[in-house]
Chains A and B, each alone.
Chain A
């Protein structure tokens, strides 16, 4: 499935957040969006997922939806967004209960999602009994249970410690290796973008405009190889050069506020 964004503008009262965004997320591609704080990355994701109404512009999807897909565009949230009063398996069940599935199919989807994320033994646990990394795995399993055509990931690793982040990046890599699910991945972490994305979109500071789109040529599974490191370091420098000055300004603005 492709996501086509045309001439997108968004404002909160007088504050223009996004301006003239034209962007296509290609089928099977992982597109990372980076930019300084407050550049509208999360707003862009919210608009793409239909939970924020844009001020102007169009968002459209095109292409095939996989068999058994219940929610073509599916979010994975930064704060996991799990219901604390439901067990792990009931959190997955929540997103299936309003679909006309047989009990057996619902169970199969829950079990397959939990097993893939290594959570089967924790299916009866409440979210408060899990670590941050495991909670995010529940969030991923919940997304997988609806067999999405496109994932929208809103800084999914930013609330986690470095080791957990590394482990979850490996989970994402194997997920994309297997499923080739299209993904729009918002992050402020350049290393995450370089490790996971096919292309990286750089947004400018408010109002968020497209500054540059950088393609990462190295195949995802070879990016940790020593041969890829030199080029990736160059790309990283370039990305950092693009956002450094504006990130500093944004940081000062936050400090002043």
Chain B
């Protein structure tokens, strides 16, 4: 049988009515990347800051110029004091953060998967989390002495509660359908935890790391200001007491760079571990 030709409706050949171009009305406030804007803003800020001193608008004592801060930093690097202070602070942050994170993740996991642990844990965490941890430092000094353990405890305690909250919230956000799927295929409990709950909760846990790393940085400075010979916090406090504001700002700059480095490391970790997102 021959193919029946399809009929088509032809469009009018010429539409003589007046036409108007359709106006673009917006793309929904889409954010565009401006790579150089941040760098430019930074350069402008430094330039303004430097010129305020050069033109004598602000006293060097109140706000030393960036060049003076850089010189102070270079001097610290040359005489080795920068590394001595940095080493002490990094060691305290590392030990305290690891202690708080390991304990916080263990408790957070228990609360995420166990209803009894959650019933007990949620009110306790809500009660302890808002306490300013630095207020407990005198108590920790009394318990653990003036040395390192009291500083580790302050940082660990400060890191512990946000880690607990981040971990159990992250476990809550693991889609339940994935767990039901695993149960329906008979996966053992431990496999479900290892293969589904942990990787599913990882984005939330890593987001928690970002917050706890900043908390650790804040607490190490506070703890070092109370009882330490070395450490960036101790250095900043001494510089402030001696009105050496260029050195004080050099210490602040080191802290800022430290925070930036920790953030960068976490971003790399997120990119590696969460490629699937």
Contacts and interface: CB of A to CB of B under 8 A. Distances in A.
Contacts, number: 49
B178 interface: yes
A84 B276 CA distance: 6
Interface residues of B, number: 19
Interface stretch (A75-83, A209-217, A241-249): A75-83
Given A126-B276, A128-B276, A81 B187 contact: no
A49 B184 contact: yes
Using C-beta atoms within 8 Å of the partner chain, give the interface range for chain A: 20 to 34
Contact of B188 (A74, A85, A98): A98
A51 B276 contact: no
A51 B183 CA distance: 7
B196 interface: yes
Contact of A85 (B184, B185, B199): B199
B181 interface: yes
A85 B198 CA distance: 11
A75 B184 CA distance: 7
A57 interface: no
Interface string B171-210: 0000001101111111110010001100110000000000
B178 A81 contact: yes
Nearest to A84: B276
Interface string B239-256: 000000000000000000
A51 B180 CA distance: 7
A71 interface: yes
B35 interface: no
A42 to B, nearest CB: 11
A79 B184 CA distance: 15
B277 interface: yes
A126 B276 CA distance: 7
A83 B186 contact: no
Contacts of B177: 77, 79, 81
Name, among A49, A84, A85, the residue most crowded by chain B CB atoms within 10 Å (CB to CB). Answer: A85
A166 interface: no
A83 B195 CA distance: 9
A219 interface: no
Contacts of A128: 276-277
Interface in A49-82: 49-51, 70-71, 73-75, 77, 79, 81
A79 B180 CA distance: 12
A19 B67 CA distance: 81
Nearest to B273: A85
Nearest to B185: A95
Nearest to A146: B185
B191 A51 contact: no
B276 A71 contact: no
Give the top 7 A-B pairs by smallest Cβ distance, nearest first. Answer: A81-B181, A85-B276, A95-B185, A75-B184, A85-B199, A81-B177, A84-B276
23 contacts: A51-B183, A70-B186, A71-B185, A75-B184, A77-B177, A77-B181, A79-B177, A81-B178, A81-B180, A83-B195, A83-B196, A83-B200, A84-B276, A84-B277, A85-B199, A85-B276, A86-B276, A94-B187, A98-B188, A98-B191, A126-B276, A128-B277, A146-B185
